[in-house]
Chains A and B, each alone.
Chain A
Amino acid sequence: MYGIVNKAIEELVLSNFGEEKWELIKKRGDLELDFFISNQPYDDAITYQLAKAVSEEMNIPLGEVFTAFGEWWILKTGKEKYGGLMQSGGSSLKEFLINLPAFHNRVLLIYPKLTPPEFKISHIEENSIQVHYFSKREGLQQFVRGLLQGLGKMYQVNTVIELLESREEGSSHEVFKVSW
């Protein structure tokens, strides 16, 4: 993953738990890196190690760490660093989600070393939509849930997110139903 992902985890920990905890987490995750460069690719394992270390150090289930991180990614990293881009995604949650597949396909070429996930939208209703998540990475569905929750908060709407299908249950990809 690109450094910006790890950097966001770092900022999440620093902002919520302080520098001392961040050092402990790095030590626990056996990470010797002092610095992440946003546009440099890093081994995915580093991101997983970080999340695992946060989970162990803070005694929080790994899934919850990813969910919290997904929200943080939207509300802090996205809004603060890519504010304009996020805003250009749409004027409502629904519009943003509809644009989500195109957005990720665009990203593919901007970050040539990235394997971004793919999204598909279906069942577009007045108050709900289904988001299909295709990824080569395992174990990030809670992260996607956090992203969707974060988007809800960004557009200031109460959302309910249901996981309709998942790879763990034999499906080819995850399907989330986002209702508001």
Chain B
Amino acid sequence: MNTSGFIFDKEQFNRLFPFYILVNKNMIIESYGHSLEKIYPGCSGKKFLDHFILSRPEYISPEFAQLQSLGSQVIILRTNQSIQRVLRGQIEYLLNEEQILFIGSPWFDSIEEVTDSKLGLHDFAYHDPMIDLLHLLKTQEIANSDLKHLVETVNKQRTELKLLSKIAEDNINSVIIANEKGEINWVNKSFTKVTGYQLEEVIGKKPGSFLQGPGTDQKTISYVRKQIQSGESFYAEMLNYKKDKKPYWVRIQGQSIRNKHNELTGFFALEEDITEQKETAEKIADTERRFRLALEKIGDYVWEHDFRTGKTIFSKSENEFLGYTTSELTNNQKLWWENVSKEDTHLLEENDLKYRNREIDSHNLEYRVIHKNGIIKWVLDRGVVIEKDELGNPLRVTGTHTDITHIKQTEEELAQRVRQFQSLSENIPGVIYEFEFREDGTDGFRYISPAIETIFNIKPADFAQYINYIHPHDRARIIEKNEYCKKTLQPFYDESRLIYTGQGLKWIAIHSSFSYIEKNGSKVFTGFLMDITERKNAEEALRTNEEKYRSIIANMNLGLLELDINEDITFANQSFCDMRSTV
């Protein structure tokens, strides 16, 4: 092929323009490039217009003569295939050979179309930028996707930032942001609300220069200043002053802000208004002082035990339980425990374990301690947890020691009396009882000794309905006597019959007399029930005999005269009287 001085063989030309088309004056394709043949095989020797369509320019008739003149235009051809391919290039008319040479390459919208066409990188001439263009498009597509993602990320971060800003701005606590020198850059709404200072008034100032005042603790000021100077975080409770000079308490949490090189760039401080908290704490402490004083005045010993240190503090200087002074006892739980009676030590040990196991929050123990002089004293030891850690473990317990030796002695005496009384009531041949007339008009037994069961075969509880056991003939009398005693508090005495269903009856003697008036106003009679059945039976027998003999004597024909020691007539029968009237 002679190209005006350039001579290429077909292979060389193919390497340079692998998508060329050479058409002769009869519009027959004489030859075409290797790569074009790959996407459109079998065109060689065929009519150009049967296989290619001229898309641009479209206005001319695609004849050889017309095509010759298109040397100064961009030519776009379409292949006449089911899937049309587009070729973009230019036409050169070869005068000597009377041929038209198309030089160009296929146009693709994406690299995927290249591979779909079974073309590869090596099918394009090195100078052909088509592949690079597609590469560039792909890169741009990826970059666009990145940018879209970036915008989403930025928007998300902006939303988070807005939220953070809002949290800081609307925080219920005061927020201060300061530079590395501690000078304010920004404060939130709460700060201006609490202090009365506006943002523009405080920017560039150090908080201490206008918030602290005469009541602010100097040690706290020095501590905070030192921390700021050394760029360290700090935590303090401090008395500050508002713009109107009114004092208020704050709890400050200061945090240093550092860059990635760990260089100090500023501070962030959160100030919580704890004025109310402080006042409440002061009130509690005051109440505690008064309470402690009151307890001590009424004779109790106040103590406090710290589980963390194991130390116990006693409020009184003299400890009368043990006979030691507080200086010996202070911080010395051991000494107290050592002087607890050996029989009772386990009570304290168990109690201590229960606190540690979080089983109890308070305690109430009675045990004995041995005084320095050997005397045993009884202690009422009461306590309650006043501070716990976050897991609920007790940290501090406070309580009282009360001397209950006298109470214990009284209790013992009382118990002795009860034992005596029980013994007495169980051994005497009768039933002891207490009967009360109540304020509301009702009455009943307060106590019936258990002997009622052995003597009368009636359970004490059943005898509460005593009237049911009284013989019907005796009931009205008993009720009448009860009413009389209730009014007059005179002693009660009666002899009545107790009836048993299917078991006959028994005679009882009831003695009672007024003992005392209860706190609730009940009038209590103490009494005694005695089985007098035998006596009554004997009396009845005697009476029957007496009547029998009296009848005999009265009816016999023998005068009978009975004289006493003074010879006065005490009895004369009818016969004697009849005889006297006859004589």
**Chain A residues near B121 (CB-CB < 8 A):** 88-90, 99, 102-103
CB distance from B52 to the nearest CB of A (A): 24
CB distance from B128 to the nearest CB of A (A): 10
**Chain A residues near B260 (CB-CB < 8 A):** 30, 32
**Contact between A84 and B138, CB atoms less than 8 A apart:** yes
**Contact between B146 and A3, CB atoms less than 8 A apart:** yes
**Contact between B132 and A109, CB atoms less than 8 A apart:** yes
**Chain A residues near B149 (CB-CB < 8 A):** 35
Whose C-beta in chain B lies nearest to the C-beta of A98? B122
- Quick check: which of B54-62, B111-119, B386-394, B406-414 contacts chain A, the rest being far away? B111-119
What is the interface of chain A mostly: helix, strand, loop, or mixed?
A: helix
**Contact between B146 and A88, CB atoms less than 8 A apart:** no
**Chain B residues near A84 (CB-CB < 8 A):** 110-112, 114-115, 134, 138
In the complex, which of the residues B120, B131, B140 contacts A106, with contact meaning CB atoms closer than 8 Å? B131
In the complex, which of the residues B115, B120, B142 contacts A95, with contact meaning CB atoms closer than 8 Å? B120
**Chain B residues near A87 (CB-CB < 8 A):** 115, 120
**Contact between B131 and A38, CB atoms less than 8 A apart:** no
Using a Cβ–Cβ cut-off of 8 Å, how many residues does chain A contribute to the interface with B?
Answer: 33
**Contact between B142 and A38, CB atoms less than 8 A apart:** yes
CB distance from B239 to the nearest CB of A (A): 41
Using a Cβ–Cβ cut-off of 8 Å, how many residues does chain B contribute to the interface with A?
Answer: 27
- Is residue B159 within 8 Å, beta carbon to beta carbon, of the partner chain? no
Whose C-beta in chain B lies nearest to the C-beta of A36? B146
The CA-CA distance from A129 to B245 in the complex, in Å, is 88
- Is residue B135 within 8 Å, beta carbon to beta carbon, of the partner chain? yes
- Is residue A137 within 8 Å, beta carbon to beta carbon, of the partner chain? no
CB distance from B161 to the nearest CB of A (A): 13
- Is residue B143 within 8 Å, beta carbon to beta carbon, of the partner chain? yes
- Is residue A160 within 8 Å, beta carbon to beta carbon, of the partner chain? no
Residue-by-residue, is B100-138 near A (CB-CB < 8 Å gives 1, otherwise 0)? 000000000011101100011110001000011011101
Whose C-beta in chain B lies nearest to the C-beta of A35? B150
**Chain B residues near A106 (CB-CB < 8 A):** 131-132, 135
CB distance from A105 to the nearest CB of B (A): 8
**Contact between B114 and A37, CB atoms less than 8 A apart:** no
A95-B122, A102-B121 in contact; A88/B142 too (CB < 8 A)? Answer: no
A35-B150, A109-B132 in contact; A99/B122 too (CB < 8 A)? Answer: yes
The CA-CA distance from A117 to B6 in the complex, in Å, is 35
What is the interface of chain B mostly: helix, strand, loop, or mixed?
A: helix
CB distance from A23 to the nearest CB of B (A): 14
- Is residue A75 within 8 Å, beta carbon to beta carbon, of the partner chain? no
- Is residue A4 within 8 Å, beta carbon to beta carbon, of the partner chain? yes
- Is residue A156 within 8 Å, beta carbon to beta carbon, of the partner chain? no
CB distance from A66 to the nearest CB of B (A): 23
The CA-CA distance from A95 to B260 in the complex, in Å, is 48
Whose C-beta in chain B lies nearest to the C-beta of A39? B143
Whose C-beta in chain A lies nearest to the C-beta of B145? A38
- Is residue A17 within 8 Å, beta carbon to beta carbon, of the partner chain? no
Residue-by-residue, is A75-91 near B (CB-CB < 8 Å gives 1, otherwise 0)? 00000011111011111
CB distance from B34 to the nearest CB of A (A): 16
22 example contacts (A-B, Cβ-Cβ < 8 A) are as follows A4-B142, A34-B157, A37-B146, A37-B150, A38-B142, A38-B143, A39-B139, A40-B143, A81-B142, A82-B111, A82-B135, A82-B138, A84-B111, A85-B134, A88-B115, A90-B120, A95-B122, A98-B122, A99-B121, A99-B122, A106-B135, A111-B139
Residue positions of A touching B, CB distance < 8 A? 3-4, 7, 30, 32, 34-40, 81-85, 87-91, 95, 98-99, 102-103, 105-107, 109-111
| Given contact pairs A40-B143, A81-B138, A84-B115, a sample of 4 additional A-B residue pairs in the complex whose CB atoms are under 8 Å apart | A7-B146, A106-B131, A109-B132, A110-B132
Residue positions of B touching A, CB distance < 8 A? 110-112, 114-115, 119-122, 126, 131-132, 134-136, 138-140, 142-143, 146-147, 149-150, 153, 157, 260
